[in-house]
Amino acid sequence: MSSALCWGVPLSAHSVFVMGTQYYDGRENAHTDYPVTDLLQMMGHASRPLLDNSSKCVILCHAPRKEYYKFLYEV
């Protein structure tokens, strides 16, 4: 699910996998991190309140960015 879809499509799931935390910005000619708000929105799709007692979100990122995204586990 891209960051644009995470805001516009009302989906929910037991598990959400975020396959990378960067996108290519053609104007800057570089890879840019997704805003934290987009990642939180993607993580929020991992919930089915009437079906599950718990849900899971897995964020796959480059090893140097792991410490930066660690605070999302506390949300």
**pTM of structure:** 0.74
pLDDT in tens, 1-43: 566 777 777 788 888 898 888 889 899 899 988 898 888 888 8
pLDDT in tens, 49-67: 888 888 898 989 888 888 8
Residue 9: give the domain boundaries: 3-74
Q: What is the DSSP string of 18-38?
A: EE-SEEEETTTTEEEEPPHHH
Give the tokens for residue 66.
């792991």
Name the domain count of the chain. Answer: 1
Largest CA distance in the chain: 44
Is the pLDDT at 75 greater than 70, yes or no?
no
Classify residue 59 by its DSSP letter.
E
